Amino acid sequence: MNVADSELVGGILAGEGYAFTSELEDADVALINTCAIRDNAEQRIHGRLGLFHAQKRRNPEMVVGILGCMAERLRERFLEKEHLVDIVVGPDEYRRLPALIDQAFSGEKGIAVRLSRVETYEDIEPLRTEGVAAWVSVMRGCDKFCTFCVVPFTRGRERSRSLGTVVEEVRTLAARGFRDVTLLGQNVNSYRDGTYDFADLVRAVAGVDRSLRIRFMTSHPQDMSDRLIDAIASTENICNYIHLPVQSGSDRILALMNRTYTVEEYLQLVGRIRSAVPGVSLTTDIISGFPGETDEDHRRTVELIEAVRYDGAFTFTYSPRERTRAWEMGDTVSGEVKSARVTEIIGLQQEISRGINQRFVGTIEQILVEGPSKKSAQEFTGRTGTNRTVVFPRAQEQPGEYIPVRIVRANSATLFGART
Ligand code: SAH
Ligand code: SF4
């Protein structure tokens, strides 16, 4: 989501005549887009600001700014106390950036951190580099108020772009050669533009160009409608891949988290999805060490993972966030226990993923070519429709082409292929 937001900021600044440079030495303006979801993000910002400061000593004219979800929280410290930055701009005020940067050039510090009920930036074209895959933000904010989560406070109320502007943006992407579009929102399933819901939106986007692959993130289990499941099942180019965060396998913890579903309801949903979309790939998010989580609660999470057999899972240690309801519950599980639980879950999931991936060995997969692999120039990487990464020997293919690849080997994270 932050990559998409940075592209949006790039779009706003490009409209004012700015261009992007990857060389800090060339920059007149250096901006950090921050994330507040877990605590370790803050530490990284210190490191990055250090770099900017060394450069500012060489070029005192350079404007330094903090953007995004930590803006409000960091403004006092970095702008008002330590004078480390010139501007601080929250996620709903990016339109004011050009004016704030201008002011900063003339020595005046600037701050804009108000949240909006209506801002969707739907008229702004994000500044994207060429490639195969693109993010398209379709809604902003969140009204769910899970008790551990800071998003409703940092990004404000839920609001959706109109279907027409999303379809138009995807049409432009298709014309530019993008082939893989991920529709983004904290809770995409509650997308509503006044006329259309999310099932309408994915169908419309998929209809723009059938050679596009359409994916979306993130789906809250509560709002995963049968209409959406049906759209995935009946539309060839909507990927058979759903990220469906469960967070915990204990009903007691789910209630404390305000996740609004029980394990039983979640499993029924998984059953409905799997029977409607055979071969669908399911991934999840898990939080370990929520306040009051006992060994028994943890065991239930392990059992849920074994029961669902996810294709992948992202596991986080609980990080207390100020202003949330869980903040009041304390941070009762020790760091040691949290880490041990996360390690167990990651180990279990790797074993499951390896087992699932092994079953692909010998099959032929249609993959979308993305480009050179990280490890070797002789190898390319691509993805299956179920979001599995495939590494294969390079021949004549170009990024953006669909090709069949025979899978010859697999580990927990990657499939390895040979050309057919
Ligand atoms: N809107 C999405 C999640 C967005 S945040 C959803 O509801 O599914 C991405 C993930 O970060 C969450 O699914 C959760 O697992 C994790 N997360 C959020 N707040 C956290 C916290 N305080 N501590 C640890 N992990 C957290
Ligand atoms: Fe946070 Fe819950 Fe909203 Fe996801 S649905 S962004 S976890 S409050």
CATH code assigned at 7: 3.40.50.12160
Domain boundary among 204, 239, 274: 239
How far is ligand 2, taken at its centre, from the CA of residue 411, in Å?
A: 31
Is 30 inside a domain boundary? yes
- Cβ–Cβ under 8 Å, residues 168 and 204: no
Same domain, 348 and 251: yes
Kindly state whether residues 165 and 216 are assigned to the same domain: yes
Alpha carbons 193 and 205: distance in angstroms, whole number: 14
Of 263, 260, 256, 228, which Cα lies nearest the Cα of 242?
228
Atom of ligand 2 nearest to the CA of 149: 1
Q: Are residues 76 and 14 in the same domain?
A: yes
Q: pLDDT higher for 187 or 72?
A: 187
> Whose CA is closest to atom 4 on ligand 1?
186
- Using a pLDDT cut of 90, give the percent of the chain over it: 89
The whole-number pLDDT of residue 81 equals 73
Pocket test of ligand 2: the residue of 69, 145, 158, 325 to mutate, having most ligand atoms within 8 Å of its CB, is 145
Which ligand 2 atom lies nearest to the CA of residue 259? Answer: 2
Whether 123 is in a domain gets the answer: no
Do 342 and 305 fall within a single domain?
Answer: yes
Boundary (domain end) residue, out of 224, 239, 254: 239
Residue 325 pLDDT exceeds 80: yes
Q: Is residue 120 in contact with ligand 2, taking CB distance under 6 Å?
A: no
- The verdict on residue 244 lying in a domain is yes
CATH for 163: 3.30.750.210
Residue pair 147/184 in contact (Cβ under 8 Å)? The answer is no
Is a pLDDT exceeding 80 seen at residue 310? yes
Main-chain dihedrals φ then ψ at residue 24, nearest 5 degrees: -60, -35
Q: 354 and 374: one domain?
A: no
Helix (H) or strand (E) holding 357: helix 335-358
For ligand 2, whether the C-beta of 146 sits within 6 Å is yes
Domain identity same for 255 and 312: yes
What is the average per-residue pLDDT within 230-249?
98
Among the atoms of ligand 1, which is closest to the Cα of residue 150?
19
Is there a single domain that holds both residue 393 and residue 313? no
Q: Quick check: 216 pLDDT over 80? A: yes
369 and 351 inside one domain: no
On whether residue 274 sits in a domain, the answer given is: yes
Asked if residue 39 is part of any domain, the answer here is yes
The pLDDT of residue 7 is: 96
- Atom 4 of ligand 2: nearest residue by CA position: 186
Residue closest via CA to ligand 1's atom 7 equals 220
* Listed residues 239, 254, 286: the one ending a domain: 239
Element (H, E) at 417: strand 414-419
DSSP H or E segment with residue 137: strand 133-137
From 149, 259, 290, 325, give the residue whose CB has the most ligand 2 atoms within 8 Å, as the site to mutate: 149
The 10s digit of each residue's pLDDT in 206-215 is 999 999 999 9
Q: How confident is the model at residue 46 (pLDDT cuts 50, 70, 90)?
A: confident
Output the pLDDT for position 71. 87
- Contacts of residue 365, Cβ cutoff 8 Å, sequence gap at least 6: 384, 388, 390, 404, 405, 407, 415, 417
294 pLDDT exceeds 90? yes
Shared-domain flag, residues 175 and 257: no
Residues with CB under 6 A from ligand 1: 37-38, 148-149, 186-187, 218, 220, 245, 247, 285, 287, 316, 318-319, 321
What CATH number corresponds to the domain at position 380? Answer: 2.40.50.140
Per the domain annotation, does 118 fall within a domain? no
Each residue of 74-106: pLDDT tens digit?
A: 887 777 777 789 999 999 999 999 999 999 999
* 117 in any annotated domain: no
Confidence of residue 362 (pLDDT cuts 50, 70, 90): very high
Distance 259 CA to ligand 2 centre (A): 9
Ligand 1 atom with least separation from CA of 144: 7
Same domain assignment for residues 222 and 277: no
Residue 144 lies in a domain: yes
Return the ligand 1 atom nearest residue 314 CA. 15
**Sign, Cα dihedral of 369, 371, 374, 377:** positive
pLDDT-derived band at 137 (thresholds 50, 70, 90) equals very high
Number of domains in the chain: 4
Rounded mean pLDDT of the chain?
95
Give yes or no: residues 335 and 390 share one domain. no
220 lines ligand 2 (CB under 6 A): yes
- 96 and 135 in a single domain? The answer is no
Is the C-beta atom of 152 inside 6 A of ligand 2? yes
Ligand 1 centroid to residue 233 C-alpha, Å: 27
Looking at 70-179, list the stretches that DSSP marks H as alpha helix, in order from N- to C-terminal side: 71-74, 97-105, 151-154, 163-175
The tens digit of pLDDT for each residue in 366-403 reads: 999 999 998 888 899 999 999 999 999 988 889 999 99
What is the per-residue pLDDT across 341-354, written as a single tens digit (0 to 9) for each?
999 999 999 999 99
Expressed as residue numbers, the domain containing 260 is 240-358
